[in-house]
Amino acid sequence: MKKICVIITTRGNYAKMKTVIRGILENPDLELQLILGGSVILEKYGRILNTLEEDVKIDRVIHFVIEGENPVTMAKSAGIAVSEFSTAFENLKPDVVIVIADRYECLAIAMAASYMNIPIAHVEGGEVSGSIDESIRHAITKLSHLHFPATKDAARRIEHMGENPQSIFKVGATSFDVLAEENLEDLSPVLAYQKSSGVGAMIDLVPGKYIVVIQHPVTTEYTENLAHINETVAAIQMLQIPTVWIWPNMDAGSDGISKGIRLFREHANPDYVHFFKSLPIELFAPLLKNAACIAGNSSSGIREASFLGTPCVNIGTRQKGRERGKNLVDVVYDRNKIAEAIKQQVEHGPYEADYCYGDGKAGEKIVDVLSTFSFSLQKQITF
């Protein structure tokens, strides 16, 4: 049995790995090793441990995040992650480690695995974006032995960087698998969840009559994050549309973003906004599907929203260079422009679905490849 080690460090990762985990569990040739770590186990970012534990056995829980949320603690947390994951790998002896996308700890995990001669399968490599994420993503590609890009463009870039074409499988975005499976019309579970979770006003969720805001910190704009979030806050204050605001991921700089959101909530105390720390993907999917618009800089505006046809206002540099569907409008950090763009997107209404980021079968394809692919530790650039 091939032991496949899946590592979940954010709620987003879990959404991306859900069908992969299920596929591994169902495949008689594969054995799942599940490690949780980082924000996924921290209450303040919305604990999904409970959700997970119902489904599957968790092999390890790894703590590696040093408090402080600045560039030094990000680096130190990465260092601890290298060390802690190497202990886990030593004990679990996986045959393959799956590394997802481009967060700072993912490069740390890839480093630990590659130094320990364990093959790496990288999901969602090859994409282009602004900020340090892009450098991390490509560095992981150069350490990986098997690649599962989401799009044609991403696959092309991975090959162009010198990876063996036989090791590259364009599978689409895994996060769409759940979107494709679920009935996304019913908003009542989200309404119910509002009562027991998050803070702020209880808002009415009528399809096409509310918006969603998610704005993450931008690492390379560390000192400006507070100023940037304040522009978005001001725009939302101008519009006063019912709004579901989802808290950012932890990262160097989330202090600035968090502070801006917290001040907004405490001082303006807006009666048209509900704040969630996080939403399980089962609730987020119908919320996004039925939103009049998603604003901010989350990748879900670019990716999931294009698949669902939800209008998106993408703010600032974080998603620079990523492929965009027709559902998206870009704006700079300017309260007036943000407000204006949201207004126009709300008026436009839903777009047609765009499959450039995936068709909802990615997990299945990944598990197929994992069960048959024969890994070679020796890699060499192709040119």
3-class secondary-structure state, position 64: coil
Q: How far is the CB of 340 from a second copy (least distance, A)?
A: 27
Amino acid at 360: G
Residue 288 burial (10 A CB sphere; 0-12, 13-18, 19+): buried
CB of 48 to a second copy, least distance (A): 15
* Nearer to a second copy (CB atom), residue 137 or residue 289: 137
Nearer to a second copy, 27 or 164 (CB): 164
Which residue reads 């996304």 in tokens?
Answer: 184
Shortest separation between residue 189's beta carbon and a second copy, angstroms: 21
Cβ neighbour number for residue 331 with a 10 Å cutoff: 20
Residue type, 95: D
**Smallest distance, Å, CB 262 to a second copy?**
10
Q: Which is nearer to a second copy, 3 or 63 (CB)?
A: 63
Q: DSSP characters for 270-303?
A: -TTEEEES---HHHHHHHHHT-SEEEES-HHHHT
- Cα separation values, 188 from 184, 206, 211, 283, Å: 11, 10, 16, 9
Rank residues 108 and 367 by Cβ distance to a second copy and give the closer one.
108
Return the structure tokens found at 212.
């969603």
Edge to edge, the sheet with strand 96-100 lists 60-62, 30-37, 2-8, 96-100, 120-123, 146-148
Q: How far is the CB of 28 from a second copy (least distance, A)?
A: 28
Beta carbon of residue 173, minimum distance to a second copy (angstroms, whole number): 19
Cα distances from 331 to residues 99, 122, 203, 214, 286, in angstroms, run 32, 31, 26, 15, 25
Tokens in use for 370? 């994992």
Task: With beta carbons less than 8 A apart as the criterion, state whether 108 and 79 touch.
Answer: yes
Nearer to a second copy, 83 or 336 (CB): 83
CB of 294 to a second copy, least distance (A): 24
CB atoms within 10 A of CB 330: 15
Structure token digits, residue 259: 């502070």
Residue closer to a second copy by CB (options 77, 290) is 77
Least separation in angstroms between CB 235 and a second copy: 25
- Name the token pair of 229: 């979030």
Q: How far apart are CA 144 and CA 110, in angstroms?
A: 8
Integer angstrom CA distances of residue 254 from 134, 158, 224, 278, 341: 19, 30, 11, 14, 25
| Residue with Cβ nearer a second copy (15 or 132) | 132
Residue 102 vs 304, nearer CB to a second copy: 102
Distance CA 101, CA 141 (A): 10
Is the CB of 22 or the CB of 320 nearer to a second copy?
320
In the complex, the residues that contact a second copy under the rule CB under 8 A are 41-43, 60, 63-68, 71-76, 78-84, 86-87, 89-91, 104, 107-108, 111-112, 114-117, 128, 130-132, 134-136, 138-143, 157, 160-162, 199, 219-220, 222, 252, 255, 259, 266, 320-321, 377-381, 383
Shortest spacing between CB 370 and a second copy, in angstroms: 20
What is the rounded distance in angstroms from the CA atom of residue 60 to the CA atom of residue 105? 16
Q: Give whichever of 199 and 206 is closer to a second copy, judged by the CB atom.
A: 199
Closest approach of Cβ 195 to a second copy, in Å? 11
